[in-house]
Amino acid sequence: MKVLDIPGGGICGESAIDRLVERFEALLTDMAGVDDRAFVGLAACFEQQLETARLLAVSRLAGTHGDARSKRRRARAHLSSSRSGRSNRSVNRDARRAAALAANPKLGDQTRQGALTGDGIDALSKAADDITGEMPADLLDLTDGLDPDQSARLVEQYLQQRCSAADVNIRHQAQMASRRVRRYTVPACGADPELAGLGIEGPDAMIDRIWALLNSDADGAYRADGGRDRSADQHAPLDHRHFDAALRRLHGIGINGGEMAGRGGGARPSVVITIGLEDLTGSGPDRRAATQLGCGPISDQLLAELAAGADLTALIVGLDGRPLWLGRVHRHASAAQFVALVVRDRGCVLCGAPFQRCQAHHIIPWHAPAKGRTDLDNLALLCSACHRRVHDERETLVRRRSPGGTEVWSTRPATETELPPPRPVQRE
């Protein structure tokens, strides 16, 4: 008879496993009697609980002794023994998650309580020590109760604040030594055809500058085509607009067919740099690097190159890291206000999309009965997709404090005084 050893010395025979399988099959039969919407919700809930229990079990099998690499190796061995057709990529991912749980008891506690999922563990793992696999205790406190997207943004900010200029300079030189352009092929998958691709690889800050230009061109084409006054199905998808923008850039063709100027078609700054006053004037080994919003800390060499150009907008922040309050009596946010929003929000406050794809959203709409003003306290960055969804679903943004003290954003149904009048119907 095949047996499975249970931690603690117990034995589970085939008969016990058979009873569990029968109970599970009976549960599936009962669930089949509910409507599809309820079934999807129940299945998602059970899936998350089973995934959590499985990761915790593998983390116990991996043990707490040894370095981070040995924990991952032991976790992978246990996962591979019962992979059930799963890919190597998913096995390696779960091994990393289980090793993180084994190295961080508090992470395990948050997972047991349902406050953390596998995606949340992935977000936090970026801050793990390379040798021990342990994560900073203060970071675990800050991310307590946040969803994976919010945790990922907070981890990125946490790491950037602790990144020295010397480390960033070394990384920049290594990336410059490996820069390249390569051609590749994307295999056909489902309804998608085989595609040819072109990859530009180099320092992340430089890639971000290229991406900012393409986003600016794509956004300019979107506005020239009617912007949000037209329905989504009347515009080319964002991926198509990015491709068209790249092609126009390579050929030097503007949005309306004319010769392209040196800068992108959008009015927003293509690069935003933040640096603390004490770091701007310092020169010691602990001096922090300047941060390019959207990609992270940048080297001194690249900062000097940007400062010599015309596409740099600089904002020196105060000791608390927040920009000064700015007010405006007009409907549209000024360029200075948009820069302040980029520094404060860093991207879409709901999905984390890069700030180049975002718009300044009025929390209380300008035309609503409550008469929302164009002040920083009433503005937030939203990408075009989230911006459209918030308006279409008649929602409003709210800020709240997480259990760890972090400020996060969410939505709630808007009241009648917070809703703008309906848009006029667009006639062709």
Please tell me the least confidently modeled range out of 30-39, 113-122, 370-379, 390-399: 370-379
Whole-model pTM: value is 0.60
* Cα–Cα distance, 126 to 116 (Å, whole number): 15
Share of residues in the chain with pLDDT > 70 (%) = 79
Share of residues in the chain with pLDDT > 90 (%) = 3
Question: Tokens for 56?
Answer: 């915790």
Q: Exposed, middle or buried, 274 (CB in 10 Å: 0-12/13-18/19+)?
A: buried
* 4 pLDDT above the threshold of 50: no
Q: What is the mean pLDDT of the chain?
A: 78
* 265 pLDDT above the threshold of 50: no
Q: How many CB atoms lie within 10 A of CB 81?
A: 7
Q: How confident is the model over 371-393, as a mean pLDDT? A: 84
* 422 pLDDT above the threshold of 90: no
| Closest C-alpha to 245, from 264, 229, 226, 224 | 264
Q: Which residue, chain included where needed, has tokens 């696999």? A: 133
H helices of 63-104, in order, are 68-80, 88-103
Banded pLDDT at 16 (limits 50, 70, 90): confident
pLDDT for 313? 54
Q: Look at the chain and count its residues.
A: 428
Choose the most confident range, by mean pLDDT, from 97-111, 267-281, 327-341: 97-111
Q: How confident is the model over 384-389, as a mean pLDDT? A: 85
Banded pLDDT at 201 (limits 50, 70, 90): very high
| Closest C-alpha to 399, from 350, 334, 361 | 350
| Closest C-alpha to 121, from 109, 107, 133 | 107
* 377 pLDDT above the threshold of 90: no
Q: How confident is the model over 196-207, as a mean pLDDT? A: 89
pLDDT for 8? 41
Banded pLDDT at 25 (limits 50, 70, 90): confident
Q: Give the amino acid at 149.
A: D
3-class secondary structure, 36: helix
pLDDT for 180? 93
Question: Tokens for 17?
Answer: 């496993």
